[in-house]
Chains A and B, each alone.
Chain A
Amino acid sequence: DIDGVGHKYYLELELEDVLDKGRTVSCTAEVLYHLGSKSTAPDVQATVQGELRSTEEADKEFYNRVRSLPKELVAENIPDSHGNVPPELEPIHLLAWAASGYVTWQNSTESTKFHLAQVKHVKQVKRSDEDLQFDYVLLLHEMVSQEVLPWEVTVLWHPQRGARVSRERRQPGHA
């Protein structure tokens, strides 16, 4: 408890690579939830101890594959109702996970717990620069309220520059 400021948490985490199970890396983080503010994202400082696996090969392959598609990539329901993800869409799914992490951070309070429930829709938008752009509609499951919230997220990605969320907003209207 920091009087007049908020609540600070000191975390020691072990990160496991979902694509390389058995490989873990330590991480320390400090998270500060601001007092009373529901509209400011918590402050986060994180340090990873050790190295993350290199994904250069796979990144390049994905980048080239998408760039050479004759038409813009469009997909929906990833995973499908039965939990299936077609192999060629797995990178799109993983990118959605990364983006949902950012959205979760921006919209978290001490009483929320978000998970990505499903990629409802994704559409690639061709760009004149070197980035790939994907406009997603993500379904975020919030554990405390049990709501499943549609969220519009625009993600830019480049093999060297990595992923950036350029726009995110809760989809207006009631399901």
Chain B
Amino acid sequence: ANMKLILIFSALIGASLCLETFVGHQVLRIKTKNEEEVKQLQLLESLEHLELDFWINPSAPALPVDVRIPAASVQSVKAFLESQGIEYSIMIEDLQDVLDKEQQDMAESAQRQRSSSFDFGAYHTLDDINNELDHLASEYSFVEKIQIGESYEKRPLYVLKFSTGGSKRPAIWLDAGIHSREWVTQASALWIANKIASDYGTDASITSLLDNMDLFLLPVANPDGFVYTHTTNRMWRKTRSKIPGSICVGVDPNRNWDAGFGGPGASNKPCSESYHGPSANSEVEVKSVVDFIKNHGNFKAFLTLHSYSQLLMYPYGYKCTRPDDYAELESLGRAAASSIRSLYGTTFQVGTICKTIYQASGGSIDWSYDNGIKYSFAFELRDTGRYGFLLPANQIIPAAKETWLGLKKIMEHVQ
């Protein structure tokens, strides 16, 4: 056995080479069965001229050993392992391929990033989003980050205030992510925030808008749910509040508003995805917005983003009758949908919530409308079911761009 070892080691010594790239380099995962095998690998490790790069060094039989092997040594190392009966598998067939792909990804990512190092075409964590809000507020004098409250789990509810002056100018409200699994909405809200901030002063429409009105944007209306979709359950929709007497968690924040509360289209069962909660405004995420808007007293439009289904809706959801301003809202909705379609051909259906999607009580735009905010619209963004909540990141910016055109149409009318 010793003779065999010496022969094989000689072959390995002969095979060593000096390489500049990682073409043909393989990464093997070796599973040792006993101390003897570990010792063999430690011997191998000591042969410096092989230029083996152990990512996980041999130490104990229970732990895997990962090693990068230069191309020229690959065959001989494998022959050695096989002759010793040591089990291995190939983790990476060609390391250069992996590195090339990584470079490509990074180059593409760098291209997408402009003055901000924030990639609007990717999905982000709550921390990253909050950092970007800080960045926008610091970069633009007319953008301010304010806190309107705290979530159930004590996360701050941050709103970006866009204001070029005046004192409590007529204002527009825009929120996203009230249902946490609808990731394209938080992502789109960030892009829209950046768009508005960076185009003020050059785009006539945005400049006129902010010269006359203020905009308040809440990109993550349900931060607890959002974090939960990252850490635990990508499909989580509701808040994360504990419900007395139930093992189930969370209330549907878009059934919790004081508009037909507890009526048809919401569930009284805590385990349901459309559970309305113990009472209207029981959810702090909802109450914070209600209080803020009431205290401000001068909101003219209330716009909210959801996904998916590609719909543009106005009140009512809690009842199936038309609002008093039906004709105007229908007409404005159609105009907005038309603007959306002009960009990529994406079609949005327009109508009341009840007629378009389903009867649903306790919804936010019903509350805002019944509280005197005439221009109340809810958007359901891409797509129509192919990817649903799991919309590929490469659709974020197209979705944000087309949605922005629709929002802009509405905001121009409101002015």
Q: Name A residues whose Cβ lies closer than 8 Å to a Cβ of B.
A: 18, 77, 79-84, 115-118, 139, 141, 143-148, 174-175
Contacts and interface: CB of A to CB of B under 8 A. Distances in A.
A101 to B, nearest CB: 12
Given A83-B395, A117-B235, A144 B358 contact: yes
A141 B395 CA distance: 21
Given A18-B386, A146-B237, A146-B252, A82 B274 contact: no
Interface residues of B, number: 28
26 contacts: A18-B386, A79-B390, A79-B392, A80-B390, A81-B123, A81-B230, A83-B390, A83-B393, A115-B388, A116-B388, A117-B235, A117-B388, A117-B389, A117-B390, A118-B235, A139-B235, A141-B235, A141-B389, A143-B309, A144-B358, A145-B274, A146-B252, A146-B273, A147-B273, A148-B235, A175-B233
Contacts of B391: 83
Contacts of B230: 81
B274 A146 contact: yes
B19 interface: no
B273 A118 contact: no
Contacts of B392: 79, 82-84
B234 interface: yes
Contacts of A139: 235
Contacts of A115: 385, 388
DSSP class of A's interface residues: helix, strand, loop or mixed? loop
A80 B233 CA distance: 12
B276 to A, nearest CB: 12
B395 to A, nearest CB: 7
Contacts, number: 58
Nearest to B265: A144
B79 to A, nearest CB: 21
A81 B234 contact: yes
A143 B391 CA distance: 16
A139 B233 CA distance: 12
Contacts of A18: 386
A139 to B, nearest CB: 7
Interface string B148-168: 000000000000000000000
The 7 tightest CB contacts between A and B, nearest first, are A83-B392, A115-B385, A146-B273, A148-B235, A83-B390, A79-B390, A81-B234
A118 to B, nearest CB: 6
Contacts of B183: 81
Given A79-B390, A82-B392, A83-B395, 9 more contacts: A79-B392, A80-B390, A81-B390, A83-B387, A83-B393, A118-B390, A146-B252, A148-B235, A175-B233
B338 interface: no
Contacts of B395: 83
Contacts of A84: 392-393
A18 B273 CA distance: 30
Q: Which of A18, A79, A82, A116 has the most CB of B within 10 A?
A: A82
Contacts of A83: 387, 390-393, 395
A175 B390 CA distance: 19
B96 interface: no
Contacts of A143: 309, 357-358
A141 B234 contact: no
Contacts of B320: none
Nearest to A148: B235
A79 B390 CA distance: 7
A174 B390 contact: no
Contacts of A147: 272-273
Nearest to A114: B385
Interface in B360-396: 385-393, 395
Contacts of A174: 271
Interface in B269-289: 271-274
B103 to A, nearest CB: 19
B382 to A, nearest CB: 11
Nearest to B309: A143
B235 A145 contact: no
A63 B235 CA distance: 32
Contacts of A79: 387, 390, 392
Contacts of A118: 234-235, 390
A13 to B, nearest CB: 14
A166 B70 CA distance: 49
Contacts of B387: 79, 83
Interface string B253-279: 000000000000001000111100000
Nearest to A118: B390
A111 to B, nearest CB: 9
